[in-house]
């Protein structure tokens, strides 16, 4: 049993001065503000205490182009290990086959994040991935939701090809089972999904474009927002989204990495994802002069445009608008949910979340607001409840505002208590509901 104290504490909702947290057998058992109750246990002093970070959109996968040798779950475990290293203590795996998640949950490695998953995406035809359960009507919606629920899914993930009618059927079936719905806009737009009862929508550019607009690539989608008419329509959609109270998973860094080849190639930890997703070796080989010769390959196989001149100016203009929209969404009361989309293209598990949150700061959100949203705020959006310290307990040696950037937090943090188990995430642990004054 140890009492940890700090002059600054975040409980996942708000920041408090002079806080303390008692950890017993690796679990938070009590906490409060002011002076800790007297006791014989040792006391450790830190600069800051805060919950572990939550990644609400991840791909726990790997070996896209390599024959599996040895442990087929090795790349999945490597993804989770990187998350732990970065201080990400709860991860939601989205839109993948259920079997790897069941196997990982059955034999978790010591220190792994608390793992949630959605199972296969529920979508309309044509299927965009093999990890899809097709939905045509109310009957197939109930059957698909029942299947992912039986496989242990914690949320329902719906895809971009699902039409409004079947989407509403999925929401109704999920509601009967007490499951939340995370939607990727497409045929059913973000505002339609919000009105139909979606709890979360992902991909800010998709949320702001009309359902009929299907950009061929990430760069084209961002460039679209250089058009004043598109901006006006996007602003109106944002107002509707704010009125419905639906949470937003922006995934800005994912879109940027899929649009800008030079930034994807320059990822400082790119070599760490090669063992999990070997195709990243092609990006590593493009560094230096290889970037010039690799652009054609990247365009043909990864979908990158060669942005230069007016096209690059349009991209930068559209990107600036997206940052403005993110800030407006926050001030309008839209709950912002942290997600990385890692292991996606040049997105490092765990660390990719900090790249995403850095754009939130660039948009003007204060660092403390960002960290509260990425801990308790994100967990509340995923589970409907976020008791303090459900995502674990981290310590920092100094106030987060004094760090040179959010990217410095992974090296600065120390894990004092892990997240509680997935089955308990919606149940508040005893003794952690209210701060003891």
Radius of gyration of the chain (CA): 21
The answer to whether the beta carbons of residues 414 and 57 sit under 8 Å apart is no
Nearest-CA neighbor of 415 among 28, 17, 37? 28
Beta partners for residue 132, in sequence order: 121
Please count the residues of the chain. 437
Supply angle C-alpha 15, 198, 58, rounded to 5. 65
Beta partners for residue 9, in sequence order: 16, 49
Residue 133 host element (H or E): strand 132-134
* Pairwise CA distance, residues 171 & 187, whole Å: 15
**Can you point out the beta strands (E) in 242-372?**
247-249
The answer to whether the beta carbons of residues 314 and 221 sit under 8 Å apart is no
The answer to whether the beta carbons of residues 24 and 423 sit under 8 Å apart is no
Give Cβ neighbours of residue 19 (< 8 Å, ≥ 6 apart): 5, 6, 8, 9, 11, 31, 32, 33, 49, 435
Residues 348-403 pLDDT 10s: 999 999 999 999 999 999 999 999 999 999 999 999 988 899 999 999 999 999 99
Q: Is 65 helix (H, G, I), strand (E, B) or coil?
A: coil
Report how far apart, in Å, the C-alpha atoms of 106 and of each of 26, 152, 204 are: 21, 12, 34
Residues 156-179 pLDDT 10s: 999 999 999 999 999 999 999 999
Pairing between β-strand 43-45 and β-strand 27-33 as defined by DSSP bridges: unpaired
- Give the pLDDT confidence score for residue 247 in this predicted structure: 97
Low-confidence ranges of the chain (pLDDT < 70): 64-66, 212-215, 290, 293, 425-434, 436-437
- Give the pLDDT confidence score for residue 235 in this predicted structure: 95
Angle between helices 351-362 and 74-86 (to 10 degrees): 50
The answer to whether the beta carbons of residues 362 and 405 sit under 8 Å apart is no
Give Cβ neighbours of residue 251 (< 8 Å, ≥ 6 apart): 57, 202, 203, 204, 339, 340, 341, 356
pTM: 0.94
Listing from the earlier edge strand, what are the strands of the sheet with 132-134?
A: 132-134, 121-123, 155-158, 180-183, 200-202, 247-249
Give Cβ neighbours of residue 260 (< 8 Å, ≥ 6 apart): 219, 304, 307, 315
């Amino acid at each position: 049993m140890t009492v940890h104290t700090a002059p600054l504490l975040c409980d996942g909702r708000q920041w408090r001065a002079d806080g303390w947290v008692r950890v017993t057998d690796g679990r938070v058992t009590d906490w409060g503000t002011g002076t800790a109750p007297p006791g014989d246990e040792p006391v450790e002093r830190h600069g800051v205490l805060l919950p572990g970070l939550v990644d609400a959109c991840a791909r726990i996968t790997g070996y896209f182009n390599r024959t599996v040798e040895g442990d087929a779950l090795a790349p999945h475990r490597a993804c989770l290990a990187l998350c732990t290293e970065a201080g990400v203590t709860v991860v939601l795996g989205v839109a993948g086959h259920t079997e790897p998640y069941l196997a990982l949950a059955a034999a978790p490695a010591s220190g792994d994040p608390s793992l949630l998953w959605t199972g296969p995406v529920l979508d309309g035809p044509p299927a965009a991935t093999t990890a899809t359960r097709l939905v045509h009507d109310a009957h197939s919606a109930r059957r698909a939701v029942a299947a992912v629920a039986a496989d242990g899914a914690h949320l329902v993930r719906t895809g971009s090809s699902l039409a409004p009618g079947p989407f509403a059927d999925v929401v109704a079936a999920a509601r009967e089972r007490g499951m939340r719905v995370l939607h990727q806009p497409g045929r059913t737009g973000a505002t339609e999904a919000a009105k139909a009862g979606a709890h979360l929508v992902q991909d800010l550019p998709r949320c702001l474009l009309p359902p009929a607009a299907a950009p061929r690539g990430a760069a084209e989608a961002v460039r679209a927002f250089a058009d004043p008419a598109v901006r006006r329509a996007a602003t109106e959609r944002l107002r509707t989204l704010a009125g419905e109270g639906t949470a937003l998973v922006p995934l800005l860094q994912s879109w940027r990495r899929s649009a800008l080849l030079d930034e994807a190639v320059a990822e400082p930890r790119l070599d760490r994802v090669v063992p999990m997703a070997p195709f990243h070796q092609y990006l590593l080989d493009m560094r230096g002069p290889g970037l010039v010769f690799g652009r054609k390959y990247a365009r043909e196989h990864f979908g990158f445009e060669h942005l230069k001149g007016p096209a690059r100016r349009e991209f930068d203009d559209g990107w600036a608008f997206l940052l403005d929209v993110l800030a407006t969404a926050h001030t309008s009361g839209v709950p912002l949910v942290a997600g990385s989309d890692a292991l996606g293209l040049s997105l490092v598990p765990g660390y990719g979340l900090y790249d995403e949150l850095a754009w939130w700061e660039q948009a003007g959100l204060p660092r403390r607001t960002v960290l509260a949203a990425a801990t308790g705020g994100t967990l509340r959006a995923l589970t409907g409840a976020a008791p303090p310290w459900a995502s674990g307990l981290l310590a920092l040696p100094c106030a987060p505002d004094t760090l040179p950037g959010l990217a410095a937090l992974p090296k600065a943090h120390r894990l004092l208590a892990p997240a509680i188990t997935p089955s308990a995430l919606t149940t508040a642990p005893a003794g952690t509901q209210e701060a003891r004054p």
